Structure 1
């Protein structure tokens, strides 16, 4: 995690410029249709704060955190939100959120700890709470620019979710990166917490 944090701390401005203005409405839609108006959302690994700001601006109560101190500071300034500095490994909320948004963040979770982190997300959701997670499409663990990437395909995603009796998969779909210059594909997962 230290190398990854250093990467984002050193290149936070380039990361911001590359991500903040990306149109994500095609991904927001499926997530938001299940949430109560004005509900409480947690943005895990919020990066530039783009998504947290969008949710705030349409009337949701938003908490957000990121592991890069520089991104946290920059996102605070851009969004006006009290974004926290912490890791998804440190999530300890219980029955607090109507929705949890983990867009392009859990892809930096060690594969051996994915079950642990998803359990933390499940615990943090209210009953009938919705979780969105996205991973780069693939099946490998790989290093790129000092960052660990845990890629997921459909089989691995279903195997991951099979570890949880109170999570139901609502939608599993693949999308091309919303940044026009990128050719990568993403695996998107939308789940609901059941009683």
Structure 2
């Protein structure tokens, strides 16, 4: 992860300028219907602060965080409020957010570390809260320009969600929305729900455990 952070530290100006004005309206429209008016949103891995600024303009209560000091500083200036300097593994809030937004940020986390981070995010969400995430479409891990990339297809997403307290509300593929980058491959997008998975996975599990215990009495 350090070399990935080094990349963004060394290319902060270029990355900010290349991403701050991208129009992600189709993605916002898939996420925001799940968030109540004035709801709390965490932009985790906020980069330039583009998305946090949009959410703030729509009246949501926004918290933004990034692990790269240079990006956090630029995002703070863009937003007009402080950006938390911390990594995903430092998320420790409980029942705080109606939604967590991870646009092209979790893709730098090794696949084996994603369950722990998603567990942290689930704990940080209020009941009924949702998580938006996006990954380059594919399978496996790769390195580019010193950055680690974890790619996901639907099969890998399902495997990941099976191991954490989330369920998939919706998933879809999009082309790259950056100008002149639509030819560079597809992205996997998903909205995950906290509550539904708790009902579907844990209550049946507890029921089976109770039945097994009673049979042994």
Shift of 1:91: 0.9
**Local SS of the residue matching 2:34:** coil
Counterpart of 2:180 in structure 1 is: 181
Q: Which residue of 2 aligns with 1:167?
A: 166
Structure 1 residue 168: Cα displacement: 2.3
Q: How many residues align?
A: 194
Are positions 1:193 and 2:172 aligned together? Answer: no
**Offset at residue 10 of structure 1 (A):** 0.8
Question: Which position in structure 1 is the counterpart of 2:135?
Answer: 135
| Structure 1 unmatched ranges of 5 or more | none
Deviation at 1:92, TM superposition (A): 0.8
Moved segments of 4+, more than 3 Å: none
| Superposition deviation, residue 162 in structure 1 | 0.8
Taking the aligned partners of 1:71 and 1:180, their CA distance within structure 2 comes to 21
TM-superposed CA distance for 1:2, in Å, is 1.2
Alignment TM-score, normalising by the size of structure 1: 0.97
Q: Tell me the secondary structure at the aligned position of residue 126 of structure 1.
A: strand
| DSSP 3-state at the match of 2:156 | helix
Q: RMSD value over aligned CA atoms?
A: 0.9
Q: Which has the larger radius of gyration?
A: 2
1:101 paired residue number: 101
Task: Measure the CA separation in 1 of the matches of 2:23 and 2:185.
Answer: 16
Q: Deviations over 1:82-123 (max 9, x none)?
A: 101111111111110000001100001111111111111111
CA distance in 2 between counterparts of 1:26 and 1:137 reads 18
**Could you tell me which residue of structure 2 aligns to residue 144 of structure 1?**
144
Which structure 2 residue ranges, 5 or more long, are not aligned? 199-217
More helix by share: 2
